[in-house]
A and B are shown apart, each in its own frame.
Chain A
Amino acid sequence: MNSQAIAVAAPRPNWMNEKLFLGMGARTYARSLVTPWNALAAVILAFGLPVLIYRFAAGLGATTNLSQIQPWGIWIGFDMMTGVVLAAGGFTLGSAVHLFGMHEYHPIVRPAILTAFIGYLLAVFGLLADLGKPWNMIMAIRYHGSASALFEIAWCVMCYTTVLTLEFLVPAFAWLGWRKAHDTLSKCMLGLTVLSVVFSTMHQSALGSLFLIAPAKLHPLWYSPYIFIFFFISAICAGISMVIAEGTLSHRLFQHRISGEHVDMDKLQIGLGKAGSIALFAYFFLKLQGVAEGRHWNLLFTGWGLWFLLEIVGFVLVPSLLYGYGARHGKIEFVRWGAVLAVAGIILNRLNVSVIAYNWNRPNHYVPTWMEITVSVTLITLGVVLFKWIANRMPIMSEDPRFAEAHDA
């Protein structure tokens, strides 16, 4: 099974060295880990993991600023909401490549799917920390509150995490050298991609539907009967932007992992920028339509209105124009800055809906505790470390030539 079987006669690279220590041997590998960024990650984890444990030892009351009127804090508003929306690159790019045949984007589809996989894992971890009785999560399988948007979300999380796991296993099997499993699963990519679009459509929009039931608690500029459509469209924007933003970073960081034919990253990003420009503009227009539909124009000139305008102009319209300009004139820097702004804008939107503009008319607004922030930062750090660990070992940045047959037709 293992492809190394062929190379048995050679000086016998042991499995641990080869697969885990990047072929360096334990000691050299350990030494290679001492970098400033790793040190930072280690400090965050050393500090954050005990806080996470403390959450389960001492309860929600001791660790969070949640209250009887503010039942959801940043573990839902940031970890869950943002983790999921920034994972949208997985299905966006997956469908572009595997369904619509835009094969020029093939080199970046795996990083996007890996990001989605890790994003969902983090969202689930954030949820576990937030739930009062996380062990009862399985109850959603037995008892069906089908009138609940959260029920839809629970099922979508379960199903889509499974799909993402299977999609992720393709490069993982290549890494392990399990050709048969790899080939079988590769053949399913088309079906998995269809499922990923189905579940993502429902899941991304259902996260918005959650707030439909709280019309008096969410500020009218963010509350809309069409909030589920806003969430879905903005997820597509987030997916595209995340792929650009993260592509810039990871392409630089994992230069050594990119082999084979040269990928013109700039060209891909400009193509994505074109799509992002259209998607963001549509989203901007929809948000305006939401204001018009609710006849909330007068609210725009209040403090909350300015905050809303900052979100939809500064972080939606501006990146849309940056994308458009960059794509039209081939100026990659514009596209990259547009991506950073757009990602920030989507995070801001999710935080606005679930935390900041929620209970907007109440005194003593919720502010997270340092422990809540620490847990969120810890989870992100874990995600980055996990991404790096996987991308350094598995064929993520470029395909393993031994496994790179035309598996996705």
Chain B
Amino acid sequence: MKISRRGFLQAAGVAGTALVALKAKPALAHEGSESLDTRGENENAMLVDTTLCAGCRACEGACAESNQLAPPPSDDAVYKTRRDTGPEQFTVVNQATEKGRDGEDRFAKRQCMHCIEPACASACPVRALDKQPSGPVIYRGDRCMGCRYCMVACPFEIPKYQYDKLAPLVRKCTFCASRQADGKKPACAQVCPTGALMFGKRSALLELAKMRVYRTPDKYIHHVYGEHEAGGTDWLYISDVPFEKLGLRKVRDEAYPDKVQGALSAPPFVMTLWPPLLMGLYAFSKRGRDQAANGHPHGPSVPPATTTPAIPPPATEDNRSSHE
């Protein structure tokens, strides 16, 4: 009994050490999509000043052209309904249901927010969706198996699926990652005639956004949408009408991948602690049975009914080792 208990503790100790080693792994995996320490400061970002947007939808056209999508509808009747992005339209401009403080119409462009810690990428089992260190959340269709867990995960409901295709892909704004790699602005920012879309480093754009909000407090709502939403996004919005009126949904401030981390730290525990624990239980139950069935060929020379099962006879140790 003594020895087996010590053995068990040793096993638990070994398991504990292994656990520490294993714990390092998820942390590393996380670092693949880095820039977390700096909270995305150096990532490329976009500031949308909705007070400057004229609703010309040039960005929609440029996006379609750059991504080889069907051209967007030219008729401004599209403003009568609130549109959502789709598998063949990565960005849409919606009209606010409220006029701005100057009495003019307000518009907001919607697209992938390119979270600093994207829920979609953390949910992807094959890292088909992946966060690039420079900012864009990109998609590799050749690995995607089409589980659509990214669509479940995204709090902004941005990933869209080609349900009508036989080899469907997840589709969303790429932040023009390839253009960025060539040192160019995303197509939408390139064509924006009013300066409503500003491309730059996140830290600089965040400062600019806050400066505008602080300097002209009666012109803007005191909030930068995207600074903290979903743990922070690379697309930032400032506005003079409530963000929900622009079709920008309320989203929690926490980084979504964090919500799963607790549960995902369980497997190393299970893998290291279950087997020794179960084998221990097996050994105990087997010993109990052998003792119960006294004349059993396995368990020699246990004197019948000399002691209660709680205090085993000294012969037990040999007994145990003999069949293990």
Contact = CB atoms under 8 A, between A and B. Distances in A.
Contact of A152 (B119, B264, B282): B264
Contacts of B143: 136, 139, 142-143
Interface string B141-180: 0111111110111010100111111111100000000000
B270 interface: yes
B168 A146 contact: no
Contact of B145 (A66, A131, A152, A217): A131
Nearest to B259: A212
B122 A213 contact: yes
A146 B143 CA distance: 15
Nearest to A227: B263
Interface in B119-154: 119, 122-128, 142-149, 151-153
A112 interface: no
A133 B167 contact: yes
A201 B275 CA distance: 12
Interface in B275-293: 275, 278-279, 281-282, 285-286, 288-289
B144 A136 contact: yes
Nearest to A146: B29
B227 interface: no
A178 interface: no
B127 A145 contact: yes
A225 B144 CA distance: 28
B146 A213 contact: no
B214 interface: no
A150 B149 contact: yes
A25 interface: no
Nearest to A149: B260
Nearest to B33: A147
B252 interface: yes
B125 A145 contact: yes
Best-surrounded residue of A69, A98, A149, A205 (most CB of chain B within 10 A): A149
A100 B282 contact: yes
Contacts of A139: 126, 128, 143-145
A320 B275 CA distance: 30
Contact of B266 (A59, A98, A154, A228): A228
Contacts of A131: 145-147
Interface string B237-267: 0000000000000011000110111111011
A151 B266 contact: no
A255 to B, nearest CB: 31
A139 B266 CA distance: 24
Contact of A71 (B144, B151, B270): B151
B106 to A, nearest CB: 25
Contacts of B167: 132-133
**B142, B145, B155, B259 — most chain A CB neighbours (10 Å):** B145
Given A147-B257, A205-B266, A134 B146 contact: yes
Interface string B13-30: 000000000000110011
A99 interface: yes
Contacts of A134: 145-146
Residue among A62, A194, A205, A225 with most chain B CB within 10 A: A194
Contacts of A144: 29, 126-127
A198 B15 CA distance: 14
B26 A212 contact: no
Nearest to B84: A68
Given A66-B163, A131-B145, A139-B145, A147 B260 contact: yes
Interface string A51-72: 0000010011110101111011
Contacts of A66: 148, 161, 163
A272 B75 CA distance: 68
B79 interface: no
Interface in A109-143: 130-134, 136-137, 139-140, 142-143
Contacts of B261: 147
Given A68-B84, A149-B263, A60 B278 contact: no
Contacts, number: 183
Contacts of B123: 145, 148-150, 213
Given A149-B263, A190-B282, A143 B127 contact: yes
Contacts of B26: 146-147
Interface residues of A, number: 60
A202 B126 contact: no
B313 to A, nearest CB: 20
Contacts of A202: 266-267, 270-271
Interface in A190-220: 190, 194, 197-198, 201-202, 205-206, 208-217
Given A68-B86, A133-B168, A217 B30 contact: no
Contact of A198 (B126, B168, B271): B271
A83 B206 CA distance: 49
Residue of B142, B267, B285, B288 most packed against chain A (CB within 10 A): B267
Given A143-B126, A145-B125, A151-B125, A68 B263 contact: no
B202 to A, nearest CB: 22
Contacts of B168: 59-60, 132-133
B274 A194 contact: yes
Given A59-B164, A194-B279, A225-B262, A214 B152 contact: yes
A209 B263 contact: yes
Nearest to A156: B267
A69 B161 CA distance: 10
B125 A140 contact: yes
A136 B289 contact: no
Given A194-B278, A197-B274, A213-B153, A148 B122 contact: yes
Given A101-B285, A136-B144, A149-B264, 18 more contacts: A61-B163, A61-B164, A69-B157, A100-B282, A132-B147, A136-B142, A136-B145, A142-B126, A143-B127, A143-B143, A145-B124, A147-B29, A153-B125, A202-B266, A210-B152, A211-B152, A213-B153, A213-B260
12 contacts: A67-B163, A71-B151, A72-B148, A145-B124, A149-B264, A152-B267, A197-B278, A205-B266, A208-B263, A209-B264, A213-B260, A216-B251
Task: Return the 6 tightest CB-CB contacts between A and B, nearest first.
Answer: A132-B146, A61-B163, A71-B148, A136-B145, A209-B263, A71-B151
Interface of A: 56, 59-62, 64, 66-69, 71-72, 95, 98-101, 130-134, 136-137, 139-140, 142-154, 190, 194, 197-198, 201-202, 205-206, 208-217, 225, 228, 409
